Amino acid sequence: MKRIKNITLAGHNGSGKTSLAEAVLHKAGVSDRFGKTADGTTVMDFDSEEIKRQISINTAMAAFDYEDIKVNLIDTPGLFDFAGEMVQGISAADTVMITVSAKSGVKVGTKKAYKEAVKQNKAKMFVITKIDDENANFYNVLTDLKTNFGPTVCPVIVPVIENEKIVSYVNLIEMKAYKYDDKGNRTETDLPEAEKIEKMTYRIDGLREAISEAIAETDDALMEKFFEGEPFTQKELIDGIHNGMNKGLIAPVVCTSATALTGIDMLLKEIELLVPNADEVAAVEAVCGDDMLEINCDESAPLSAYVFKTVVDPFVGKMSYIKVVSGQLKADSSVYNSATDDNEKIGKLYFMKGKQQTETTSASAGDIVVAVKINASTGDTLCASDKKVKFEMTALPVPCYSMAVDSSQGDESKISSGISRILDEDKTLKYEQNESTKEQILSGLGEQHLEVTVAKLKNKFGVDIELKEPKIAYKETIRRKVKAEGKYKKQTGGHGQYGHVWIEFEPCVSDTLVFEEKVFGGAVPKNYFPAVEKGLQDSVKKGVLAGCPVVGLKAILLDGSYHPVDSSEMAFKTAASLAYKEGLKQAEPVMLEPIGDLKVAVPDENTGDVMGELNKRRGRVLGMEPIEEGITEIVAEVPMREMHSFTMYLKQVTRGMGSFTFDFLRYEQLPANLVTEVIAECVQD
């Protein structure tokens, strides 16, 4: 545990996470060739959908040894539709390495990765990638990082640029410069003379001074030495940054080019020297009975571990990615699952390098390992049976984009089984039946998220489904009291059919039919009352305007007549339905639409745009308040009819920084100008 480094790569989509991982693995001697995303040959992006789309969709891991350390490198997607994967990846890490393109600088994904790292109390490090791009500007990006993330940003490796080309890299800790050949091999060269260097926004001595100042903030003795003007030794610089990272006070910055393999060996060296070890990070809180415990990374302590990710492979089976917090997880052992309150049989254990598995007999505290074919789900805690603890599951993004599943062409049981297995894998998906429309609804984080889910179902489990826009669960009600007659009389060769009722219909506050009887003198025998009620219960399933369910209806059986021979339950049931149809036409029937409670978090600069959009969508803004620095929450009530495309709108206008929750609140009368359109939609469905 003193040599394990758990690092998660996170950042904006396209900032070079997977390429950086590939370069690190290649330079560390783990992979024979340098794979490319465009060719579909990288270690981390091995899923067929990732290769096809040339993007990261799933969190992938590669465990490897370098010098005297073991690195568990976790690569996460940058697309916001797969933000749950980033959150899970960060939860297993001790350090978050945030990639920032030297060409495009700090983007929304950079801020979200940093924010999640802070939220989960992880050490942070910035890697400025694509440094050799013709439009790259390292020093502008460095300024951008300092502006957004403050004085904790501390450059450690910087480029030297002459004639708009990088000629060398300076390690500010060693105060040495290195140049690279076309194979990514480095040799030491002379330190630059600042006055001869183009674009040297920061002078070398000024950068070195900034490092010293940042390190001085981490320790009182170092602060005293700094004020006395005494330079720090190289060991003091390394230890200072190392400790500062662990305390969240320093986020070092390095620069690389993955494609040219420049700066990668220096990055590996900084990982070895600066990144905190597994045993140095803060203790993890866990519940033990009624108490809260802090569990340290200690391999001699009782076992405690948690499943941070699940992969369902149609050939291998269920693969559970496990972070061991304390003790040892051993193959062919039995452990206790706190979530299911049951024992879990552990079979084989593997260390992963992309999709390649290396079997191991055990994993110690601080390590990450994969168990196959166990029952545990994402978020479950595995522990020793004599010390039962439970870790809190990391909060994942809430599904906000829904589509209806059209399964008319497929086997419903096969579809349900396939989706169930996908839900095991992806906790940011939800699949449930809408009670009103009876549609099966699949919800996720966006359009692309659901598209990939549909493709996975087909490729992995042979399940073919189509998605369509969900129906809105409209309802109908009445606005005035009426009295209606229903008479059913039919003469046949034998016994006839006769049922006759007078029913009063009036509005009430109820989601179901309220039935009463006030019949005097036996006009309708009591034994026919249930038949009348049954006729009405069947009838309210369809209203008279658009065939939608009727709510807020009270029916009182007042009078009627019967025939001693021809009357029957069926006749009175039919008579009740006739009275219902006649009565509701006269009772001023209206359409009702569902209204939802919206809570949307947006950057302060976008509040005006979003409030204007909500007004266009017939929303009523109830209030707004700041919930964190730079973010305001808007609370509104909005018709569900207007919300289907809101996910895409919010992503576009806030560039991915916005988020929302939307829950059913109540029904309200549909505006008159929409009634004809909605009736036509309902009749067509």
Query: pLDDT value at position 465?
Result: 87
Q: What's 587's DSSP letter?
A: S
Query: pLDDT value at position 182?
Result: 86
Domains delineated in the chain: 4-280 (3.40.50.300), 284-391 (2.40.30.10), 401-468 (3.30.70.870), 475-587 (3.30.230.10), 593-684 (3.30.70.240)
Chain centroid offset of residue 69 CA: 32
Distance (Å, rounded) from C-alpha 34 to C-alpha 27? 9
Query: pLDDT value at position 290?
Result: 83
Q: Which residues contact 344 (CB under 8 A, 6 or more apart)?
A: 334, 335, 336, 337, 374, 375, 376, 382
| Residues facing 100 on adjacent strands | 128
Full DSSP string of 510-537: -SS-EEEE---TTSS-GGGHHHHHHHHH
Query: pLDDT value at position 493?
Result: 63
Query: pLDDT value at position 197?
Result: 47
Query: pLDDT value at position 329?
Result: 95
For the chain, percent helix, then strand, then coil, each to nearest 5? 30, 35, 35
What are the average pLDDT values for consecutive 10-residue runs of the chain, which has 685 residues?
A: 92 92 90 76 79 85 92 93 93 95 93 94 95 88 92 90 83 91 88 57 74 85 86 89 91 93 93 92 88 90 94 85 94 92 93 91 94 92 91 91 81 83 91 88 92 89 88 94 93 79 94 90 87 95 92 93 87 94 94 95 94 95 91 95 93 91 93 93 79
Q: Which residues contact 405 (CB under 8 A, 6 or more apart)?
A: 415, 419, 431, 439, 440, 441, 442, 465, 466, 467
| Structure tokens belonging to residue 210 | 């900034």
Distance (Å, rounded) from C-alpha 114 to C-alpha 98? 7
Query: pLDDT value at position 409?
Result: 63
Give the H/E segment covering residue 458: helix 447-461
Query: pLDDT value at position 482?
Result: 95
| Phi, then psi, of 170 in degrees rounded to 5 | -105, 125
| Structure tokens belonging to residue 606 | 């976008």
